[in-house]
Structure 1
Amino acid sequence: MPDNGSRFDCKIALITGGSSGMGLATARRLLDEGAQVVITGRDRARLDAAVKELDGGDRVLAVAGDAAKIEDLDALVAAVEQRFGRLDVVFANAGIGAFQAFTDVTETEYHRVLDINFKSVFFTIQKALPLLTDNSAIVINASFALHRGSPGAALYSATKAAVHNLARTLAAELAPRGIRVNSVSPGYTSTPAFHAEASPEIQAAAAASTLAARVGSAEEVAGAVAFLASAEAAYINAQDLLIDGGMTTATPTHQV
């Protein structure tokens, strides 16, 4: 990891979906750079394992709950307020992949995916806002999928486009307080969820689709989130940062 000193000394960061993957990597990155971190997750056992892995002592607060449930978000905010009294960074990361043909999407699935991928982001930020200090930073986890159309991804891509636009809209609305809001759009990333859901053939094809000839790492996404949340990005607002190895905007030589 590059030596960035202590960019987050005395900062309090909230990371939803922080028990694994990109959320856990971001928690580790911010913790290493001086922050006190709050992580959330629905599975208490996985959350406890994440806390043990982070090994941050009393600089880590884990709150079990579903980011798509308002009562759980209220409990989360109350716990953060009691422990720390404020927030300086929010990484709205909780989300799921959901891929099926457009004609196969049921109303039940529609509500499930929107609740997790959009409602959770919307209300996490709304509920956290009273604790956010002026000149703080919000980063939303979107996806490269919002930048291109792919078969079987209508519902998923729509939710990611929604949070991307939410970032831009909130950036304008919260600008008077100096609160910056940006999003990151990871490409294929090596996480437990990716390896559980993608076959070896899909994983190989994903790697071949990038200029780097590999999928990204959760730590690389965490580095981008840390940058956008830091004072180094003070003049970056209402932007989306693609972290996809060039997959979305360029074609590898072997595919030409």
Structure 2
Amino acid sequence: MTRLTNKTALITGGTSGIGLETARQFVAEGARVAITGTNPATIEAARAALGPGVLILQADAGNIASQQDIARQVQQAFGKLDILFVNAGVADFRPVEAWDEAGFDRSVAVNLKGPFFLVQALLPVFGNPASVVLNTSINARIGMPNSSVYAATKAGLISLARTLSGELIGRGIRVNAVSPGPISTPLYGKLGLSEADLKAMASGIMDQIPAKRFGQPSEIAKAVVFLASDESAFTVGSELIIDGGMSNL
């Protein structure tokens, strides 16, 4: 398919999970793609999976100077940017009493501050028209225990999708959000839980999903392709919830 032919795209956190699958679909749709990542192992795996045509940038999603450097490298490589998918994030789940300032600040930096300053840094690089898609989470809406800080950062992104839309649409930049429910990605393996605890958590989550399954990265990626493409030219400041009905309970 060719919905993104002649478009340039940047995907943060594009070396695994939803980001990697979205990069695959963007390439298949004809886009020139750049991705960011931090882990050398997943960077090399992504390089092998996506091929030499994809630009891979090592960058810390929570560091402001890194966002400025990303913008500089993207401008140097592409000249202008048509699509930004803000996907990089950390999922740190703790009971309220277990939080410390360092953990709180890291979640806010990666999930909210970094994305804001990346959009700011890219303002001179965006084409007209351009599309920004923010990857948020259904956790911002369902009040899941132990998700307080994570959910707050994702709620902030949903708010940014609305407010930045109003501010940037005059420049031809559309901003929208996707809010996935539980998706089968390597994210859960990063929570530091034992295999037994992971299985118990997955079973508990499954009971809350009317569709009775976890979503697949490809299902989120297809929605991002739509929001990135000209097919969604009249979609501005919207949030697309993709959660198997979880938030409807």
Q: What TM-score bracket applies, with the shorter chain setting the length?
A: over 0.9
Relative to the length of structure 2, the TM-score reads 0.94
1:140-171, Cα deviation, whole Å (9 max, x unpaired):
01000111212211111110000110110000
Query: CA RMSD of the aligned region, Å?
Result: 1.3
In 1, are the aligned partners of 2:165 and 2:173 still within 8 Å (CA)?
Answer: yes
Bigger Cα displacement from structure 2, 193-202 vs 74-83:
193-202
Aligned to 2:63: 69
Q: CA deviation at 1:196?
A: 4.7
Tell me the distance in 2 between the aligned counterparts of 1:101 and 1:83: 43
SS in 1 for 2:221: helix
In 1, are the aligned partners of 2:10 and 2:85 still within 8 Å (CA)?
Answer: yes
Consecutive unaligned residues of structure 2, counting only runs of 5 or more, are: none
Identity %: 41
Instruction: Please tell me whether residue 40 in structure 1 is matched to residue 36 in structure 2.
Output: yes
Aligned to 1:220: 219
Aligned to 2:153: 159
Relative to the length of structure 1, the TM-score reads 0.92
Instruction: Please tell me whether residue 22 in structure 1 is matched to residue 21 in structure 2.
Output: no
The partner residue of 1:168 within 148, 156, 162 is 162
Q: CA deviation at 1:76?
A: 1.5
In 1, are the aligned partners of 2:89 and 2:110 still within 8 Å (CA)?
Answer: yes
SS in 2 for 1:248: helix
Tell me the distance in 2 between the aligned counterparts of 1:83 and 1:52: 20
In 2, are the aligned partners of 1:67 and 1:116 still within 8 Å (CA)?
Answer: yes
In 2, are the aligned partners of 1:139 and 1:184 still within 8 Å (CA)?
Answer: yes
SS in 1 for 2:161: helix
Consecutive unaligned residues of structure 1, counting only runs of 5 or more, are: 251-256
Equivalent residues in 2 for 1:1-256, closer than 5 Å:
5-55=1-51, 57-58=52-53, 60-197=54-191, 199-250=198-249
1:7-66, Cα deviation, whole Å (9 max, x unpaired):
0001000000011011111101101100010000112332121011112x32x1001010
Moved segments of 4+, more than 6 Å? none
In 2, are the aligned partners of 1:136 and 1:178 still within 8 Å (CA)?
Answer: yes
Q: CA deviation at 1:94?
A: 0.7
1:64-105, Cα deviation, whole Å (9 max, x unpaired):
010211222222122111111110000011101111111221
